[in-house]
Every structure is written in structure tokens, then in C-alpha cells.
């Protein structure tokens, strides 16, 4: 039996394109209940969108299109669908083929047309029209620029992400902030796209960490740590566009957070960028593998390996899994939320209720929600994308069950609904628990459904 090691890989036609989606200064960008500023007063770093397309062959009729946007989260289903459906229509592909992924910055503009009545809200509609046009342009350009290429994946580590479920020392509740005593998933997954000459034409960084470095004290538009991370990686890869993919980060955030100091966000970005470069530098050449070449007797018995040519997988497939998740029995109806909103005066409570009202509209007044999850098989790798904010247990458990596969897990993709916390947390007074309309067991149900679907896809 041949003993060999190779990266999870895909060979086909791959294209990449980028657009600037920096909003105008003065746009409504109040993302924090504690914020006093309502509008953006300047730009820290530009916001971008990057499109990556995957095809088995140049003439393949249904490319897979992954778009990563420096935006926060969707407030309404209608706003998200207007952008995503425009991409589907422009490329003539069905819904399983497009992933509209948000990096989840909390220092971005409003992307909700219903905020038109807020200060700076008159700029939101035109801005969303611009985002939609740039998504269509970038997706089309990426398809047109697709070339024979190889996508290789490798795992690494980055210790920036820390647990953010802190027991309040002064009350019976859990605060959303750094907990130095709890473990955190530090897994980093990097993808490298190289053309036929071995030149890097794109990179992907999949890491789970909430971009909440910049908070209510900040009035600048910013991609948070993602901007500096991209700058570091792209500076060392010949300017090849880098896509950031926000992982299952429901309980993960940087240790230093909630500041108005952009230097802290940039520091985080550089740390993640250098960790990603370490992974990329340690990868084998494209289309190569290591093969065990036998033992050599020396001071110690040595195992020798040789680097040799390898043929990557060209398998490419996409599907949508629907998970029926029960809703909490005591979650308020639209009418109840509207009554609470009419009586609310504190800005933070108004912000909470506005979010709850929009979420109730998305999920409806039934007793369960049909939640879609996108599953892509890209050669030897898998991409699992969901619209919710899953806790890291989703990615940890899927990677544990399928260790032979590189698995990228994405939150806030093709929508943005609510948290998926572990069942054990539902006895606690905690934001992620009372924010979500999903009943206890929602995360475990999602993990089981994904694992079953992956088993069928890969035959493992």
C-alpha cells in the first residue's frame, strides 16, 4: 500500500474579480445599541467585495460563485434576496450555485432600506443598488477571467480568537466579552489558487472571529481586522485578491475588543494575516504530494518522503440542505414586539426590539423555521455555508467527523437570521440565547443534518 500525503485540492477553471463597495460618508451606520453617533464620519479602510468562480471546464454552464463582502448582516430577507437574485439572473444559474457571504464587520453601513427614516438613511437605498451592481459585475468578470487553476487547502492555527461568553461577576447573567478561562477554537483554514504556471491568483482565509474590535465609540467605516489581514496577505502573494470567510464564530471574538482605536483592529488583522502566510508558506507546490519512500537507518531510524506529481480532483458539486428547526414557544409575536417597541425609550432597548421585529418577520409566526444550508464539494474539500451565527461547535464537530476533508464553515451566508447556541447554554441568561428564536437543540440538529448530508456526498 502506498503511503502518501496531499492537500485537499481541486483542479478546474477558477476566476477572481474585485470591486470597491465603500459607502459615502454620512450614511447611517448605527450598529450598536450603546452608540451615540448615527452616521459615518470617515473611512478607516475601504470596503470591498471579491468574487471567486469555480467550474469543471471553461464551457460549464453552471459555475459556482462565491462572493465575500465587507458588510455586517442583513436586517431583512427582501434586501438580501434583491442582491442575490440579481446575481442568479445575471449568470443564469440556480440558487445552489451562489454564496453571498458577509464578513460581518460591525463598523459598516446599514444595508437595510427600512432605515430610510434614520439620519443618513436616505443614502442606504442607492448604496444597496451600487452593491448589487458591483456583485453582478464582479461575478461576470470572474467567470470571464477564469483560467485553468488549482485550489489547495491547508489547516493552521491562530490564537487571536477567544471565547466571549463571560459570567458577569456582579449578576446572574453571561456578558458578551472576553472570557480568559474558557477554551476557544483557533483553527485556521487557508486556500491557495494557482494558475498553470504556479502563480498565486487568489487566496482564501476561513477563520472564526467576530469583527467587533471597533464598537460604539467608532464612527468610521471599516472592515475591522479583515482589511489589514487582506493587506498583509496580498502584499506577500503578488497582490492576488484574498477572500475572507467568516467561520462559525457565535462565541468567538478577539481578546481586545469594543474600542474606537483603529490601530487595534489593524493589529488584529496583521496577526491573522501573518498566521495565514505561515500556512501558505508551508504548503506543498501545486499538483504535488508527498510519498513515503522508505526508512533510512541513521542515529535514529528515519522515515523519508519524496515530493512527486499528483493529479487533483476535478469533482465539483453544490446542493442545498433544508433543516427544520423548532422555534421557542415563548418567543413573542409581531404584535407583542410592536407593543414593546412603542413603549420603549432607552436607545439600546429600541435597537434590540427593532432587530427582534425584523427577525420575527423573517421566520414567520409558525412553530418551526426551514433553514437552508449550502453544501459545496470542491474536489477533496467541503464548504458548508449557513445564514445563521452558529457557535464554533459546528465547525469543530464536522471537522472531527470528517478528518480526511478540508472543511470550510461559513456563517452569515445567503441571509442573516439568528444565533445557533449549544443546548447546554439555554439555562443561562445570555444574549445569544435570548436573541435567537430557535429552540434548544438547534445547533445539535444542524450538526447532525450536515453530517448526514456530507456522508451521502462523500460516501464516508
- Measured in whole angstroms, the distance separating CA 441 from the mean position of its chain's CA atoms is 22
pLDDT, residue 189, reads 98
pLDDT, residue 3, reads 96
pLDDT in tens, the chain (460 residues): 789 999 999 999 999 999 999 999 999 999 998 999 999 999 999 999 999 999 998 766 689 999 999 999 999 999 999 999 999 999 999 999 999 999 999 999 999 999 999 999 999 999 999 999 999 999 999 999 999 999 999 999 999 999 999 999 999 999 999 999 999 999 999 999 999 999 999 999 999 999 999 999 999 999 999 999 999 999 999 999 999 999 999 999 999 999 999 999 999 999 999 999 999 999 999 999 999 999 999 999 999 999 999 999 999 999 999 999 999 988 777 777 788 888 888 877 777 777 777 777 777 777 889 999 999 999 999 999 999 999 999 999 999 999 999 999 999 999 987 999 999 999 999 999 998 999 999 999 999 999 999 999 997 5
Residues 6+ apart with CB under 8 A from 87: 65, 67, 98, 100, 135, 136, 139
Q: How far apart are CA 30 and CA 264, in angstroms?
A: 20
Q: How far is CA 359 from CA 70, 258, 356, 418, 438, in A?
A: 22, 25, 5, 8, 11
What is the model's pTM? 0.95
Residue 401 has phi, psi (to 5 degrees) of: -75, -25
Across 36-68, b (16+ Cβ under 10 Å) vs e yields ebbbbeeebbebbbbbbbbbbeeebeebbbbbb
Helices 347-363, 334-343: axis angle to 10 degrees equals 170
Q: What is the dihedral of CA 190, 157, 178, 70, to 10 degrees?
A: -10
Q: Would the CA dihedral through 62, 66, 69, 73 be positive or negative?
A: positive
Amino acid at each position: 500500500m502506498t503511503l502518501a500525503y496531499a492537500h485537499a485540492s481541486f483542479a478546474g477553471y477558477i476566476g477572481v474579480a474585485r470591486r470597491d463597495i465603500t459607502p459615502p460618508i454620512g450614511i447611517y451606520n448605527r450598529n450598536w445599541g450603546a452608540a451615540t453617533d448615527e452616521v459615518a464620519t470617515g473611512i478607516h479602510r475601504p470596503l470591498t467585495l471579491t468574487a471567486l468562480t469555480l467550474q469543471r471546464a471553461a464551457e460549464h454552464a453552471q459555475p459556482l460563485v462565491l462572493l465575500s463582502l465587507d458588510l455586517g448582516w442583513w436586517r431583512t430577507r427582501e434586501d438580501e434576496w434583491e442582491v442575490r437574485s440579481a446575481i442568479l439572473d445575471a449568470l443564469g444559474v440556480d440558487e445552489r450555485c451562489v454564496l453571498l457571504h458577509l464578513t460581518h464587520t460591525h463598523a459598516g453601513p446599514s444595508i437595510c432600506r427600512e432605515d430610510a427614516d434614520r439620519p443618513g438613511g436616505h443614502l442606504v437605498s442607492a448604496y444597496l443598488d451600487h452593491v448589487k451592481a458591483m456583485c453582478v459585475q464582479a461575478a461576470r468578470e470572474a467567470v470571464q477571467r477564469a483560467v485553468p487553476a488549482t485550489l489547495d487547502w491547508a489547516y493552521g492555527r491562530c490564537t487571536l480568537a477567544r471565547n466571549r461568553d463571560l459570567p458577569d461577576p456582579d449578576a446572574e447573567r453571561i456578558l458578551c466579552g472576553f472570557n480568559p478561562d474558557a477554551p476557544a477554537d483557533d483553527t485556521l483554514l487557508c486556500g491557495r489558487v494557482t494558475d498553470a504556471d504556479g502563480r498565486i491568483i487568489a487566496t482564501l482565509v476561513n477563520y472564526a472571529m467576530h469583527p467587533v474590535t471597533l464598537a460604539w465609540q467608532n464612527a468610521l467605516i471599516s472592515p475591522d481586522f479583515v482589511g489589514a489581514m487582506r493587506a498583509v496577505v496580498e502584499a506577500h502573494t503578488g497582490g492576488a485578491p484574498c477572500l475572507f470567510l467568516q467561520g462559525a464564530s457565535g462565541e468567538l471574538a478577539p481578546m481586545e475588543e469594543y474600542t474606537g482605536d483603529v490601530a487595534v483592529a489593524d493589529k488584529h488583522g496583521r496577526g491573522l494575516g501573518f498566521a495565514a502566510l505561515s500556512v501558505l508558506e508551508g504548503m506543498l507546490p501545486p499538483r504535488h504530494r508527498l510519498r513515503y519512500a522508505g526508512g533510512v537507518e541513521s542515529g535514529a531510524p528515519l522515515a523519508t518522503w519524496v515530493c512527486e506529481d499528483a493529479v487533483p480532483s476535478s469533482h465539483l458539486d453544490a446542493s442545498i440542505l433544508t433543516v427544520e428547526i423548532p422555534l421557542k414557544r415563548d418567543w413573542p409575536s409581531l404584535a407583542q414586539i410592536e407593543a414593546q417597541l412603542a413603549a420603549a425609550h432607552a436607545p439600546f432597548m429600541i435597537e434590540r426590539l427593532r432587530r427582534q421585529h425584523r427577525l420575527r418577520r423573517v421566520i414567520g409566526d409558525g412553530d418551526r423555521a426551514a433553514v437552508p444550508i449550502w453544501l459545496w464539494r470542491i474536489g477533496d474539500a467541503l464548504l458548508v455555508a449557513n445564514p445563521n451565527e452558529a457557535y464554533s461547535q459546528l465547525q469543530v464537530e464536522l471537522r472531527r467527523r470528517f478528518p480526511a476533508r478540508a472543511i470550510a464553515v461559513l456563517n452569515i451566508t445567503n441571509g442573516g437570521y439568528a444565533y445557533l447556541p449549544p443546548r447546554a447554554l439555554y439555562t443561562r441568561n445570555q444574549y445569544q440565547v435570548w436573541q435567537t428564536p430557535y429552540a434548544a437543540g438547534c445547533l445539535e440538529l444542524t450538526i447532525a443534518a450536515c453530517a448526514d448530508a456530507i456522508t451521502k456526498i462523500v460516501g464516508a
